[in-house]
Structure 1
Amino acid sequence: MINYEILKKYPLCDRCFGRLYGKVLNTTNLVRGKSLKIAKAIEAEINKDEEMLKALSRSGVKEIRGVDEEVKECPWCKGIFNRMDKLLEEVLEKVKDYEFNTFLIGTHIPEEIKEFEEEIKTEYMESIKQEFGREFGKLLARTINKKPDKENPDIVIHINPYTEEIWLQVNPLFIKGRYRKLVRGIPQTRWLCGFCKGKGCVYCNFTGKKYLVSVEEIIGEPILKATKGKDYRFHGAGREDIDVRMLGNGRPFVIEIKEPRIRNINLKKLEEEINKDGRVEVLNLEFCRRKDKVIIKNVPHKKTYRALVYCEDEVSEEELKKLEEELKNREIYQRTPKRVLHRRADLVRVRKVYKVEANKVDRNHFELIIYCDGGLYIKELISGDEGRTKPSVSSILNKQCICKELDVIKVHDGETNGRNE
């Protein structure tokens, strides 16, 4: 049943009265409300219901004979739909400096309006927030020829149509690819000075950094400049130590650019510019979405390493064959290495070595090619870390060994660990 009695208490405009039954009949709230009022006006005039006729007149029905009540402001919308053109001009001014392909309207409604909606709510009602967001979104889309997108908008335009406040949420731009670190001595991410925490002091020569450059900066700075963003964050599929090279097919990563002003950039040219550095090389840059960042950060991939090992005693070919056999499909129990205890919880991790190839280099050196789960500490797999890693290369050979050089030569994207932490 249509609740016309509410019009005696509140002079709802055509649009707002139609919105009470917004889920009924495929038409606009404006047409629905006007039609319902006209139908009721006919009935009220036949029945000589003066009170209802006056209520309908106050709510904007001008077709009633002999009744000319002053039209009252609608207490629900308060005329916000009449201000859409003005709001559109202000939105266009705010977004003019941003390049974007998709958008979303975020409508903010005052608490008193929400409370009013609860008071008059019907089973078939559409909220004013829904209608304003939809109608303003259609108006903006026609004006700028861009598409609204609820899932992954480039920009969210927040509007309080009652106060006429407007603010932008410029969503990040995500670019994924792979990187190869061709030299040792560079950390993966920006490393702030431990004394000043980035402010600059005598210990860091007022740079604010422990290391002057990182993989993150070599890749991120050119992209930040091209997009005119505010800042950037680097997300890698794991990380290698400073003294470890990342070779082979490269490590997957995502660069997240905060508040970019330019989104349509030439990624091929960016690859060429980044690769001029010579220390880091990027491959296969492409645009991606937030979910790719989550996958890259949280999915542990199997990896293949090359390690140059020094042994204090000579190692025979027979011993190396034994090492290959002992480590094949072997579970490794690794207590958190001493060198990372200051930033990692002290617990035992179980990882698996699937295959090892050992080749003698000289009397005290041999090379290992290790195919294993991601998250396995290779240096400690070799040294044993004073018994914290079991078994280890040192314990199997019964000779003290250390890793002299380490390279990641493949990240196996399609092969996740058989066992997670």
Structure 2
Amino acid sequence: MINYDVLKKYPLCDRCFGRLYAKLLHTTNLERGRALKLAKAIEAEINNDKETLKILARSGVKEIKNIDIETESCPWCRGIFDKVESLINKTIEKLKDYEFKTFLVGTHIPEEIKSLEEEIKTDYMEGIKQEFGRIFGKILAKKINKMPDKENPDIVIHINPYTEEISLQINPLFIKGRYIKKVRGIPQTRWLCGFCKGRGCVYCNYTGKKYPISVEEIIGEPILKATKGKDYRFHGAGREDIDVRMLGDGRPFVIEIKEPKVREIDLKKIEEEINKDGRVEVLDLKFCRRKDKVLIKNTPHRKTYRALVYCEDQISDEDLKKLEEELKDREIYQRTPKRVLHRRADLVRVRKVYKVEANKIDRNNFELIIYCDGGLYIKELISGDEGRTKPSVSSILNKPCYCKELDVIKVHDGETNGRDE
């Protein structure tokens, strides 16, 4: 049944009345509402139902004769569909500084309109938010020759057609690749000064940073400049210590550019510019999506390390063979190392060493090639960290051992840990 009683309280325009029954018949809300009102007006004239005719005339049925009553403004749409053209022009003006391929329209309506919809809703109704967004988006797409995208839009246009407020949500640009860190002494990410927390002080020479440069900055700054973005964030597949090199074919990463104005950049040229630095090299830069960032950050990849180890006592070939045998397919119970207790929860993590290759250098020095789960602290695997890591190289040999140098030589993307963090 069509509920014409709603028109007694609210003089809905043709479009809004038709929206109450949007899921019936394949036509526009405007045409549907007008047809329903006209059908009711004909019935009212036949029955000489002047009260109904007055109600219909008040809601905009101009064909009714001999009823002298003015049409009232619609309390639901309040004329927002008459503003579409001007709002589109304002939107295009806001978009002119941004390069993008896809967009999404987010329509916002006042609370009182939401309350009205709740009061008059039917089982066949379409919300005014949905209709306005659909019409606005369709016209805008044609005018700017861009595609709407509900899943991964470059830009979200937030619009309140009632207040005519328009704002842009510029979604990040994501670029993935691999990096090689050729030198020691560079942190992976920006490291704020512990005293001023980035504001700048005498202790950091007013730079706001504990270290002057990072892998993140060497990679991020050229990309930020090319995209004319606001800021950037670096997401790596794990991280190496500041004194550890990242070698081999590099560590996977995603760089996230906030509010980019330019999205079409030459990644090969960017690679060349970054690699001129000499300390960090990037490989295989590609555009990607947010899900790649999540995957890289949250997947614990196995890794292969090269460690140069010093032992306080003399090392024999038998010692090294014992290490290889004892650490093969061995679970390691590692309590959070003392050196990272200030930033990591104090708990025992279980990781696995799959294979170790030991090579003697001289009586007190040897090299270890360690293939293991991601998240295993290698320095503590060697030293034992005063018994917090069990077993360790030191405990197996019953000799104090220390890691002098450490390199990551392989991040095994396709091989995840046997256990979760």
Provide the residue aligned with 1:121 in structure 2. Answer: 121
Distance (whole Å) between structure 2 residues aligned to residue 162 and residue 137 of structure 1: 17
How far does the alpha carbon of each residue in 1:310-342 deviate from its partner, in whole angstroms, 9 at most, with x for none?
111221112111110000000001111111111
Q: Which amino acid aligns with 2:266?
A: N
Provide the residue aligned with 1:354 in structure 2. Answer: 354
Distance (whole Å) between structure 1 residues aligned to residue 80 and residue 353 of structure 2: 66
Provide the residue aligned with 1:305 in structure 2. Answer: 305
How far does the alpha carbon of each residue in 1:352-394 deviate from its partner, in whole angstroms, 9 at most, with x for none?
0000011111121111110000000000000111111110011
Distance (whole Å) between structure 1 residues aligned to residue 337 and residue 7 of structure 2: 74
Distance (whole Å) between structure 2 residues aligned to residue 217 and residue 163 of structure 1: 42
Unaligned runs of at least 5 residues, structure 1: none
Provide the residue aligned with 2:243 in structure 1. Answer: 243
Provide the residue aligned with 2:10 in structure 1. Answer: 10
Determine helix, strand or coil for the equivalent of 1:371.
strand
Provide the residue aligned with 2:36 in structure 1. Answer: 36
In the TM superposition, residue 296 of structure 1 has moved relative to its aligned partner by: 0.9
Distance (whole Å) between structure 2 residues aligned to residue 213 and residue 306 of structure 1: 25
1:88 and 2:95 are equivalent in the alignment:
no
Distance (whole Å) between structure 2 residues aligned to residue 312 and residue 377 of structure 1: 21
Larger deviation: 369-378 or 50-59?
50-59
| Match runs of 1:18-417 below 5 Å | 18-417=18-417
In the TM superposition, residue 137 of structure 1 has moved relative to its aligned partner by: 0.6
* Contact 1:106-1:158 at 8 Å conserved across structures: yes
Q: Which amino acid aligns with 2:354?
A: Y
How far does the alpha carbon of each residue in 1:172-219 deviate from its partner, in whole angstroms, 9 at most, with x for none?
111111111010000000011111111111111111111000000000
* Contact 1:62-1:68 at 8 Å conserved across structures: no
Distance (whole Å) between structure 2 residues aligned to residue 407 and residue 414 of structure 1: 20
Q: Normalising by structure 1, what TM-score?
A: 0.98
In the TM superposition, residue 65 of structure 1 has moved relative to its aligned partner by: 3.0
Determine helix, strand or coil for the equivalent of 1:189.
coil
Distance (whole Å) between structure 2 residues aligned to residue 190 and residue 150 of structure 1: 34
Q: Which amino acid aligns with 2:205?
A: N
Q: Which amino acid aligns with 2:146?
A: K
How far does the alpha carbon of each residue in 1:28-74 deviate from its partner, in whole angstroms, 9 at most, with x for none?
11111111112112211212111111221221212223335311100
Determine helix, strand or coil for the equivalent of 1:159.
strand
How far does the alpha carbon of each residue in 1:146-174 deviate from its partner, in whole angstroms, 9 at most, with x for none?
11111111111111111111111111111
Determine helix, strand or coil for the equivalent of 1:197.
coil
Determine helix, strand or coil for the equivalent of 1:67.
coil
Distance (whole Å) between structure 1 residues aligned to residue 383 and residue 124 of structure 2: 71
Distance (whole Å) between structure 1 residues aligned to residue 344 and residue 112 of structure 2: 49
Unaligned runs of at least 5 residues, structure 2: none
How far does the alpha carbon of each residue in 1:104-155 deviate from its partner, in whole angstroms, 9 at most, with x for none?
1111111111111111111111111111111101111011011111111111
Larger deviation: 78-87 or 66-75?
66-75
Distance (whole Å) between structure 2 residues aligned to residue 24 and residue 181 of structure 1: 63
Distance (whole Å) between structure 1 residues aligned to residue 145 and residue 69 of structure 2: 43
Determine helix, strand or coil for the equivalent of 1:85.
helix
Larger deviation: 56-65 or 155-164?
56-65
Distance (whole Å) between structure 2 residues aligned to residue 130 and residue 227 of structure 1: 33
Q: Normalising by structure 2, what TM-score?
A: 0.98
Distance (whole Å) between structure 2 residues aligned to residue 7 and residue 200 of structure 1: 65
Distance (whole Å) between structure 2 residues aligned to residue 97 and residue 350 of structure 1: 51
Q: Which amino acid aligns with 1:251?
A: R
How far does the alpha carbon of each residue in 1:271-292 deviate from its partner, in whole angstroms, 9 at most, with x for none?
1111111100111111111111
Q: Which amino acid aligns with 2:419?
A: R
Distance (whole Å) between structure 2 residues aligned to residue 347 and residue 144 of structure 1: 55
Distance (whole Å) between structure 1 residues aligned to residue 383 and residue 185 of structure 2: 21
Distance (whole Å) between structure 1 residues aligned to residue 252 and residue 24 of structure 2: 51
Distance (whole Å) between structure 2 residues aligned to residue 217 and residue 272 of structure 1: 15
Distance (whole Å) between structure 1 residues aligned to residue 364 and residue 9 of structure 2: 95
* Contact 1:306-1:369 at 8 Å conserved across structures: yes
C-alpha RMSD over aligned residues: 1.0
